Each structure stands twice: as structure tokens, then as C-alpha cells.
Amino acid sequence: MADPDESPVGPSMTPPRSEATALDPFFIPRGCAVVGASRDPAKPGHQVLRNLRAVGHLGPVYPVNPRERALEGWACYPDLVSIPGPLDLVVLCLPATTIPSVLEDVRCRRRDRQDVRAIITTAGGYAETGTPEGRTRQAELEAFCRQQQVLHLGPNCIGVIDTHNRMDTTFLLGTAHQPGGISFLSQSGAFGAWILQSWSSRPRPTGFNRFVSLGNMVGVDLVQAMTYLGQDEHTRVIGMYLEGYPDPRKLLLTAARVAQTKPVVVLKVGVTPAGRQAACSHTGALAGEDALYDGAFRQYGLTRVKTVEELLDTLQAFDTLPSPSGNRVFLMTHAGGPGVYATDALAALPEIEPARVTGATRQALVDILPPFSAVCRPEGHLDMTASGTAMQHAMALELLLGDAGVDAVILLDLPTLFLSAEALADHLLEAYGRASSRQPPPKPFLPCLMAGKWVAEGRRRLEEAGIPTFETPDRAARAFANLLRHRTLRQAGRRALTLPFPAAGGEAGRRQTLTEPEVYRMIAAEAIPIAPWRATGNPAEASVAATELGLPVALKLVSPDLPHKSEAGAVILNLAQADDIPAAWERAVTAARAYRPGLRISGGLVQRMARGQEFIVGGLRDPQFGPVIMVGAGGLLAEYVRDAAWRLAPVDEDMAMAMIGELKAAPLLEGVRGGPPADRAALARLVAAVSRRLASIPDLVELDLNPVMVGPAGAGCQVVDALAVRLSPE
């Protein structure tokens, strides 16, 4: 029976066929002109031709240079207009200032020949400079491309590479055109170069399929490129270097659809300090662009990585490892200390569990391994000592892969006199082949042959045979954890794609702080439990209300001028007797008037005291992300520890449960100091309900429910204070 998680996504998620071919002119052009082609190796226009040769480009190439007859074996043309055949792609290797005249030639061809379907502009000097000239230049380029209906990539980019279709329009040094299943989108040409040069420097160059440098995104942008790669049959996993995108919701939605069929791995940079906007709520103070992106990546099923090493390892793991059937990892080594180091690294990753093998496997291991080997001490770990031979490695690997309790094997090895990396690689490959054919499907096997150049040939042999190798056990473990995590992420993304998707932009207007009763009335339309309350006009009414609501109660002054009531002394908690209310009212008024002279007081809110664990639920309407929802730990410390999880609104209850699970304070809900577990489900319901409310009220720009008291399981939770900012028309 098919895993429901594997079933195809609904029709709304399948982009039209045209999207799958939209960017073909860049990758499989009928004719490619290189303007600025040159004999001088210091010129980009030289290296582009070199790379087209190096990749073995099959289509016609037209170097454009009036002073040359031929370059790299291709006949030169004085200008674009004189090129005979059909011309799909023009690569501009020229400074920004000389480009307008070439665009005139493009215009002529578009008019006379109806070709030139795509342009790549490598030059900088556009909007990225932040200068008025640069911005004007970019606007002109954009207008040209729109008017001519021509595809455009750049400016300020290094173009595209396609190992399958043998295309390379970059001027990069050091690209190995090794085919593979990784495609990479980069908002920085230099970052792309870093990745490509890192790939080509490995013992065996890492294979990849397509590379797209997006530059300033005039024309082709991240969304279009992501959609295209999502449809590309040779792409198994997509990597992305992301600085930012003007409409993050659109990008996330696109990437989420793609991530349903191929993992999307994102390195997001530009982590700015939190506290993104002038906010009067705690929610606002906790928000930050990075926190919102982070929550959104989790929500839409994208794998976020933090370092370039993790990016490289994770892409390779997704491309080459078989899909794991579980998270039980066995660690085998002949190196004691590195084994302990690796055990620490594995223990730090919650996604991974140590594998437990059967007694039979354990005994078989003991039987074949050197006398002082430590087998399954600790569980999921095997140290065969430095005297373990290549054959013993192979036998142990085969036994472990054959045990049903093992989902994956990580191996650590250092070359020794007695054990060359090459011999080890050969034996391991045989053993892995035997185990995989006897008991398909193959299991993930992650060898870490450490020690730099001394293992280069051994690693090359393994990778040539399709087994990825890793630099260190921590890096292998993290890449594998990302593989495991993808399963959960994809499910989250699948759910997120079924939810409504409100528009982003906040409306304009005057910010107006609502009083607590106003907030309660605004949110009351949904299933949001609020501790029983009553708005009262005077102490006598409040006393009556207290008795009717049930004691003890809290008394809170209601004032449009007092968003932070507690600070002002306008909140009195734990009033156990109705008779105490008038004095409390008096005390609160005195304190609040001292805190803010001239304060308007419109009454007193009486609310039954609620008990439970304190949490905070809040939301914002972010200018970029639109409505967002947050749940966090309550209390003072939480503000300082910044323990909060974010998503774009709305979320469903499952997603809300996942958010709660991300909190450092999550264990509080499992019961504290021997107490019963708290009503996590009720908190999740509340979060989901609040998120729907946020998504449905466009002028609700800030909302704090703080605290929310979460009672024991089954007892629900209750909001006991609230703050909101609404936009009212100017």
C-alpha cells in the first residue's frame, strides 16, 4: 500500500507545462552569442568561450567581436545583427555602459528575425550599487526586456550551467562539469562560485545538474527559476543561496510545492537582529525577519542549513543517499577517540537514535572482530580497535546492514599502516553491494574517511561508486539528520499548502491601541477561550461581577491610554473577596493616575483568576510576510531567552503542535515537578484559532494574548490578558 505521504499532490499544485520549458532558451538555446568575446584571458568574454568549450556545448556558438575572425574555434561576428542562424541566447560580457547599444541590435533582431529569446547580463553597476544611476540603468534594462518580451537573467550575475545539456555561460575558474542531481540557485555569483569551486576540489568532484546565478533578478527571478527546476527531470534536489525576496510568501509557496517532490535546501543569510518594527507588544519585540523566515521554512517544508559545509553535505546526501526507512544509526569505527567524538555529535542531534542490533548480530560481530573490540558498548556503537582489517570492516558492515534494527551506518576511519583507505574502500564497496542486493532497498551508508590527502583516493573510489563520503562524523550526522527531518518537513509543507493564503501587505492607517475588552470582543468570534470576564463601570458593579464570575478575581482598569497596565499598577490580582474590590479599584486608580496623569479611565474589567503554565500567543501583520502567528514561553525570562516559534497565518492544529514542540519551554507542558501534563492540545487549538482570526482581520496589525494559562490535560487553557493594535482609516 502506498504511503499516503507519497501520493501525488493535488491538481492545484501542478504548474502548467509551459513553466517546465519557460527557461529552456538559457539551457538549450538554438544558437548562443557571446558579446564581448575576447582573446584576452583576463576578460570574462574569453572565459565564457573557454567554458562553453570545456563543457562540450553542442549547439552553435557565435562570438561577437569586430576585431577577431575566430575564437576558440568558433567563427566571430562583428555584431548581433550579422549572425545568420536562429539565435536564442545572447550573453553580454560587457560593461554596463556599453550595453544599451547592443540592446539596439537585439531590438532589430526581434523585429526582423523574431529571435533572441533570452539575454544574460553579467555586468554590475545596476541597482545593487544603491546609486541613482544604477537604479535608472536597471529600470531601463527592465523596460527593454518587458517591452521586447525577452527573457533576461541578471544583471550582476554569472549566468547558468547545465551539465546534462552541456551549457556553461559563466566565466568561472574551476567548474567540474560532473553530472549529478543537484541544482543550485544563487542570489550571489560569488557564493555560487564558492560552491562550484568547493565541489570541483573534492576527491571526486561533486556532480550537479543546473546552476543559476540570479543577480539583480531583472526578468527571471527566484520564483520562476524555482518553478523551472522543480519541473526539471534531472534535478533531484535544489539548493538555494537566499539573501531576500520582495514577496517572501510567493517564494515560499513556490518552493513548498517543489519541496513536495524534491527537497529544497536553503542557506538564508542577512540575519538581522530581532525587533523588526516599532512595536508595542511583546510579540512585536520578539519578531525579526530571520525568525519569520525560519518559521516559514519549517512551515513550508524547506530544509534550512546554517553553514556552507552543511549546505554542501546536505545537498550531496539528498542527491546520493537512499531514502532512510528510519532514524536508527549504527556508528562503526576502528578509532577510539574519534568514535567518542562522533558519539557526542550524534547524541546532540534529536533526529537520530542509536541502533540496537539483535543478539545474533552482536555475537557475530564479536566472533569476527579483533579480540579487544568494543561491540555495542555503548549501544549502536562499535570500535574494532586499530587492528581491524579491511576484511573485518567489510564483514562488520555487511552484518550491520543486514540487521533489521539498523536504518543507516556511519563509518569513521583513519588510514593506518595496516589499513589503507584504498583497500578499505574496495572492501566496503563489495560488502555494501552484497548487503544491498541480498536485502533491497539499500540502506544509507555514510563513510567518513578522515585525514585529508591520505584518504583522497579511497574517497574517490567510494564516490565513483555512488557512496558519498564526509569530512567529519559531525558533518555526516548533520547531513543525515537533515534527510530524516525532510520527512516531517514535507508533511508540514503538504498541510501548509492546503490552507488559505491571505495577501501579504498591511494596509495603511492610524495605529490604534485597543483596550482589553475591545480585544476580547474582537477575537471572541472564534473558539478562543478567555477567562470569564465582565466590563464594569464602577466598583459596585465590579463587586457584583466578581461574585457572579466566581472568586478569586483580578481587577484591571480599562483605559485607552494604558497599553501596559501592570507596569502602571492598574492590575490587582487574586482578589479573594467581593468586598475587597472597591478598595482595590481605588488603589489601582491612584497608582495609574500617578503613573500617567490625565489618564482616561473607562471602567474596570473583572476577570476570574486562572491557573496553569504561562504561555504567550501573539501575531503581527508584517509588511513583507503578512499575517504571522507566534507562540512562546510566558513570563519574564522567556522574553529574554526569546523562546518563540513563528509561522505565517493561518496554521492548523497540527502545525500549532509542531510550533509548541519547538519551544525550549515545551517540556513544561509534559508536567512539572511531578505534576500532571498540561493541555497542549488546547493550546494548539487556541494558536490555530488565533491564526485564523489574524488572517481574517486585515487591519489587525498586532496582537498579544499574554499570558495564556494552560491547565492540566483536558482542562483547556484561558487567555487572561490581551493587547492589540488595529489600523483605523486616517
Interface size with its own copies, residues (CB under 8 A): 91
Task: Determine if 143 is a binding residue for its own copies (CB under 8 A).
Answer: no
Cross-strand bridge partners of residue 35: 64, 92
Task: Determine if 129 is a binding residue for its own copies (CB under 8 A).
Answer: yes
Nearer to its own copies, 332 or 688 (CB): 332
How many alpha carbons fall within 13 Å on the CB side of residue 326? Answer: 13
Task: Determine if 308 is a binding residue for its own copies (CB under 8 A).
Answer: yes
Q: Which three cell numbers stand for residue 479?
A: 547531513
CA-wise closest residue to 161 among 201, 110, 197 = 197
Peptide bond connecting 707 to the previous residue in cis, omega within 30 degrees of 0 = yes
Task: Determine if 665 is a binding residue for its own copies (CB under 8 A).
Answer: yes
Count of C-beta atoms within a 10 Å radius of residue 129: 15
Rule CB under 8 A: choose which of 89, 410, 425, 668 binds its own copies.
668
Compute φ and ψ for 607, nearest 5 degrees.
-140, 135
Task: Determine if 270 is a binding residue for its own copies (CB under 8 A).
Answer: yes
473-502 residues in contact with its own copies (CB under 8 A) are 474
Residues 315 and 184: their CA atoms lie apart, in Å, by 9
Angle between helices 248-259 and 222-230 in degrees, nearest 10: 10
Rule CB under 8 A: choose which of 269, 360, 503, 583 binds its own copies.
269
Rule CB under 8 A: choose which of 178, 261, 387, 491 binds its own copies.
387
Count of C-beta atoms within a 10 Å radius of residue 545: 23
Q: How far is CA 359 from CA 362, 363, 405, 592, in A?
A: 5, 6, 11, 72
Residues 607 and 610: their CA atoms lie apart, in Å, by 9
Task: Determine if 595 is a binding residue for its own copies (CB under 8 A).
Answer: no
Residues 627 and 664: their CA atoms lie apart, in Å, by 24
Total number of residues shown for the chain: 730
DSSP 8-state symbol, 74:
E
Task: Determine if 338 is a binding residue for its own copies (CB under 8 A).
Answer: yes
81-110 residues in contact with its own copies (CB under 8 A) are none
401-420 residues in contact with its own copies (CB under 8 A) are 414-418
Question: What letter represents residue 48's amino acid?
Answer: V
In angstroms, what is the minimal distance from the CB of 447 to its own copies? 15
493 burial level (CB within 10 Å; 0-12, 13-18, 19+): buried
Place of cell 487572561: 720
Rule CB under 8 A: choose which of 146, 600, 611, 664 binds its own copies.
664
Task: Determine if 172 is a binding residue for its own copies (CB under 8 A).
Answer: yes
Task: Determine if 453 is a binding residue for its own copies (CB under 8 A).
Answer: yes
Nearer to its own copies, 169 or 613 (CB): 613
Count of C-beta atoms within a 10 Å radius of residue 636: 8
Judge whether 651 and 299 are in contact, CB under 8 Å: yes
Q: Hey, is 481 helix, strand or coil?
A: helix
Q: Hey, is 237 helix, strand or coil?
A: strand
Nearer to its own copies, 188 or 283 (CB): 188
Instruction: Candidates 52-60, 192-200, 359-367, 437-445: pick the segment binding its own copies (CB under 8 A).
Output: 192-200
Judge whether 362 and 399 are in contact, CB under 8 Å: no
Nearer to its own copies, 240 or 688 (CB): 240
In angstroms, what is the minimal distance from the CB of 569 to its own copies? 13
In angstroms, what is the minimal distance from the CB of 670 to its own copies? 9
Nearer to its own copies, 268 or 490 (CB): 268
Residues 314 and 482: their CA atoms lie apart, in Å, by 7
CA geometry: angle 401, 405, 411, nearest 5 deg: 45
Task: Determine if 283 is a binding residue for its own copies (CB under 8 A).
Answer: no
Task: Determine if 2 is a binding residue for its own copies (CB under 8 A).
Answer: no
β-strand 408-413 against 445-449: which pairing, if any? parallel
In angstroms, what is the minimal distance from the CB of 307 to its own copies? 6
Task: Determine if 139 is a binding residue for its own copies (CB under 8 A).
Answer: no
In angstroms, what is the minimal distance from the CB of 335 to its own copies? 3
Rule CB under 8 A: choose which of 74, 191, 293, 520 binds its own copies.
191
Nearer to its own copies, 406 or 562 (CB): 562
Task: Determine if 707 is a binding residue for its own copies (CB under 8 A).
Answer: no
Task: Determine if 293 is a binding residue for its own copies (CB under 8 A).
Answer: no
In angstroms, what is the minimal distance from the CB of 244 to its own copies? 10
Q: Which three cell numbers stand for residue 703?
A: 496582537
Compute φ and ψ for 380, nearest 5 degrees.
80, 15
What H or E segment, with its residue span, contains residue 573? strand 571-575
In angstroms, what is the minimal distance from the CB of 452 to its own copies? 2
Task: Determine if 462 is a binding residue for its own copies (CB under 8 A).
Answer: no
CA-wise closest residue to 557 among 520, 523, 591 = 591
DSSP 8-state symbol, 568:
T
611-650 residues in contact with its own copies (CB under 8 A) are 613, 633, 635-641, 643
In angstroms, what is the minimal distance from the CB of 84 to its own copies? 30
DSSP string, 188-204: -HHHHHHHHHHHHTSSS
Task: Determine if 25 is a binding residue for its own copies (CB under 8 A).
Answer: no
What is the contact mask toward its own copies in residues 534 to 573, using x (rule: CB under 8 A)? ------------------------------x--x------
Nearer to its own copies, 151 or 335 (CB): 335
Residues 30 and 449: their CA atoms lie apart, in Å, by 45
Rule CB under 8 A: choose which of 4, 66, 371, 597 binds its own copies.
371
Residues 6+ apart with CB under 8 A from 541: none
Rule CB under 8 A: choose which of 41, 441, 597, 729 binds its own copies.
41
210-249 residues in contact with its own copies (CB under 8 A) are 241, 243
Instruction: Candidates 191-199, 227-235, 422-430, 588-596: pick the segment binding its own copies (CB under 8 A).
Output: 191-199
Judge whether 666 and 683 are in contact, CB under 8 Å: no
Task: Determine if 171 is a binding residue for its own copies (CB under 8 A).
Answer: yes
Rule CB under 8 A: choose which of 31, 60, 154, 189 binds its own copies.
189
β-strand 553-558 against 603-608: which pairing, if any? antiparallel
Task: Determine if 350 is a binding residue for its own copies (CB under 8 A).
Answer: no
Instruction: Candidates 104-112, 227-235, 267-275, 650-658: pick the segment binding its own copies (CB under 8 A).
Output: 267-275
Nearer to its own copies, 364 or 455 (CB): 455
Rule CB under 8 A: choose which of 8, 56, 336, 466 binds its own copies.
336
Task: Determine if 341 is a binding residue for its own copies (CB under 8 A).
Answer: yes
Nearer to its own copies, 103 or 678 (CB): 678
Compute φ and ψ for 512, nearest 5 degrees.
-130, 120
